[in-house]
Amino acid sequence: MSLVLSGCSDGPTQSTVAGSRLVSLQVSPASVNLPAGEQQSLTVEARDAAGAVLPSPVIEWRSDAPAVATVNASGVVRAVAPGIARITANATGVSGPLSALVTATVTADVPDIASWRTARAGLTDVTLLGAWDDGAGTTYAVGQNGGVLRSRNDGPWEVVPVGTTETIAGIWGSSPTDIWMVGTNGLVLRGNGSAFAPVSTGSSTTYLEVWGRSATEVYITGDRGVILRWDGSRFEPMVTGVTDELWGIWGPNPTTLFAVGNNGTILRYNGSTWTRQSVPDAVPFFDVWGTSAGNVFAVGIQGTVVRFDGVQWQRMPTPGTANLFALRGRAFNDVYAVGNSGATYHFDGTSWRALTLGIGSNLRAVAVRADGALRFAGWYGTVITLRGIGPGASTVVETSNPPLLSLYGSGNTMFAVGFGGTVLRRQGEQWITEKVPSANDLYSINGNGLADIVAVGDTGSILRYDGTTWRRDASPVTGVLRYVWSGGGQHVIVGERGTILRSNGTAWTPQQSGTQRFLRAAWGADAQNVWAVGDSGTVLRFDGGQWRSMAVPTQSRLRAIWGTGANDVFAVGDTGTVLRYDGISWRAFPRPTARDLRALWGRGPTEVYAVGDSGTVLRFNGVAWKTLNAPWKSTVYTLFGVPGTGRVAGAGEGGRIFESN
């Protein structure tokens, strides 16, 4: 793509090129950045007064600093030594001499990143659906793809192979050496604390929960109203009279059991027959637990909690509308329900109150330990331990490995944010979960130093850090906020439906973007030169007054933008799309990969890195993009320089963080 440059005239002399009159010169690119020893060709486009291209114009090339960069008669610029040179293309037009200027910046040659190390490995990112504590110091958590985690005596969590890739939905044991697990396609495993073996029920039904009262009284619930009872030697199906999925089961004695499931199903067993109960809400119920036959709770969608007093079920007021999936307690006045976005409700015997865990991952299971501590398990391999009671309790994130989508650092501190409202802080060589106000998925973090940091995400989530405390800002929108750029004391947020928000203090002001397209990234050289990119090749530029659309040679989704200055900006996106802005216009590079590119960062104009899907890592040296080797095959979503070092960090799937050596 041609890049238009300025022309000048010093006299009335007229000349023609191939019989036509020359009125303008265009040279591409308008600026070049080269490491010493490299070269790049410049192209010239001559036009007449009608705008027609004139072939083979006679051009005279000149460099004002040959010790920095030379140029030959064909317009090939060769970098000699670090510095800046002005390359001029001269020709004679209808009104005299015409010239076009190209700025050539030469840098020292910097070697590629040769190797990477894993700075945060991440244990597992499987969704955990069940949890159980054996009362002797060991806690288990189970979930998708045959995932089983175990922690012994407050030790680190470890992955326990159990020989299946089926989803494990429930776990319970009568003792540390008699443990049951159930899941999809009729999966039933029984273990002794060291090894697990399959037990056949003769069915491929999906089982959703296992619970019992002893080694000879174990119940399994599942799809199509299934309840099986284990008597110590075999499973016997029970007649339930329903076909709804049954998600939970509990009871205080063999003749008083409760099972809950879809469509408002709550069943009661009297020792011989299961009978459907009348309930105030026909919503799906996912768990049931109580302290006696006259004090039973069931939880479900939209914050629903119902309570059975021995006679009837009644709806209880709750502090929110999050879907609730698990329920356990330590006493009638110390009950916990957990669910989506880290929702944790505590019942103190009188009312339910919301607790803040400091993380927003969806929670799916609760286990009560012998010492009274509770462990919550959920998405992305998350396990949280709660000690204490209600609002006075303390929480520790034992393990959590959501996709990490953005990095930011300043001074000697670095942060990462990701799904589940996760915020991690780098302390030395360790990454520790920050306790922050509850937020949905966080997509981006940036700042003007450590005392002015902003993180943004789903449903209008905006978190701000002042160097001491995280707080939640009031947001003027409820849609997805995808990226925040910070610079010059201000912050610019972009997101879905062309959303742009700006703040140079405490409030957020919407700005007119002129588009409804999803904006996915932003970058600025300064407060008067800010760009935003997004879907369908959308590129906007802010000039300090308003946002304007820019012409670009692509319709691909653009996911990242970064630059070294107002005349050197890069954008990357789907299927290997790479663009550069030279201060005049955008041009496309030959695609260096067919994979989607998701992040950009660099240390200078001839050392720019891009990362993306399936372990893709690229480096631009001022002339071309080349593929670098990486020790990972997963997607990396973000790049940033590690403050105070010469290293580069990348983060992505499975909560993994990599650093260059």
DSSP state of 100: E
Mean pLDDT of all residues in 361-374: 96
CATH class belonging to 16-107: mainly beta
Rounded Cα gap, residues 291 and 256, in angstroms: 12
Give the pair of three-digit tokens for residue 369: 């330990």
Residue 18 has pLDDT above 70, yes or no: no
Q: How far is CA 290 from CA 168, 193, 315, 350, 375, in A?
A: 24, 27, 15, 15, 18
DSSP state of 144: G
Rounded Cα gap, residues 415 and 640, in angstroms: 10
Rounded Cα gap, residues 216 and 246, in angstroms: 21
More confident residue, 505 or 493: 493
| Contact between 15 and 22 (Cβ < 8 Å) | yes
The CATH T-level fold of domain 404-660 is Methylamine Dehydrogenase; Chain H (2.130.10)
DSSP state of 25: E
| Contact between 227 and 237 (Cβ < 8 Å) | yes
More confident residue, 439 or 416: 416
| Contact between 419 and 443 (Cβ < 8 Å) | no
Residue 13 has pLDDT above 70, yes or no: no
CATH code of domain 126-399: 2.130.10.10
Helices (H) then strands (E): counts for the chain = 0, 68
Lowest mean pLDDT segment, chosen from 263-267, 496-500, 501-505, 637-641: 501-505
| 384-396 residue pLDDT tens | 999 999 899 999 9
At 1, is the pLDDT very low, low, confident or very high (cuts 50, 70, 90)? very low
| 280-324 residue pLDDT tens | 989 999 999 999 999 999 999 999 999 999 999 999 999 999 999
pLDDT reported for residue 428: 84
At 16, is the pLDDT very low, low, confident or very high (cuts 50, 70, 90)? very low
pLDDT reported for residue 395: 94
Residue 115 has pLDDT above 80, yes or no: yes
pLDDT reported for residue 50: 85
Rounded Cα gap, residues 426 and 584, in angstroms: 40
pLDDT reported for residue 10: 31
Residue 14 has pLDDT above 50, yes or no: no
pLDDT reported for residue 26: 87
Residue 8 has pLDDT above 60, yes or no: no
Residue 434 half-sphere exposure toward CB, CA atoms < 13 A: 26
| 642-657 residue pLDDT tens | 998 889 999 999 999 9
Mean pLDDT of all residues in 153-160: 94
Give the pair of three-digit tokens for residue 97: 């001499």
CATH topology identical between 16-107 and 404-660: no
Residue 95 has pLDDT above 90, yes or no: no
pTM: 0.91
pLDDT reported for residue 20: 56
Residue 161 has pLDDT above 60, yes or no: yes
Residue 2 has pLDDT above 90, yes or no: no
At 9, is the pLDDT very low, low, confident or very high (cuts 50, 70, 90)? very low
State the Rg of the chain over Cα.
32
Residue 19 has pLDDT above 80, yes or no: no
Of the candidates 148, 54, 140, 138, the one whose C-alpha atom is nearest the C-alpha of residue 92 is 54
Query: What's the residue count for the chain?
Result: 661
- Amino acid code (one letter) for 112: D
Of the candidates 375, 418, 415, 413, the one whose C-alpha atom is nearest the C-alpha of residue 397 is 375
| Contact between 166 and 184 (Cβ < 8 Å) | yes
Rounded Cα gap, residues 156 and 153, in angstroms: 9
| 189-208 residue pLDDT tens | 999 999 999 999 999 999 99
Of the candidates 220, 224, 190, the one whose C-alpha atom is nearest the C-alpha of residue 207 is 220
DSSP H or E stretch at residue 632: none
Residue 477 phi/psi, 5° resolution? Answer: -135, 165
Residue extents of the structural domains in the chain: 16-107, 126-399, 404-660
Show Cβ contacts of residue 634 under 8 Å, excluding neighbours closer than 6 positions: 614, 615, 652, 653, 654, 656
| 59-83 residue pLDDT tens | 999 999 999 999 999 999 999 999 9
The mean pLDDT of the chain is 94
- β-partners of residue 509 are 502
Q: HEC string of 564-631?
A: EECCEEEEEEHHHCEEEECCCCEEECCCCCCCCEEEEEEEECCEEEEEEHHHCEEEECCCCEEECCCC
Of the candidates 658, 157, 614, the one whose C-alpha atom is nearest the C-alpha of residue 404 is 658
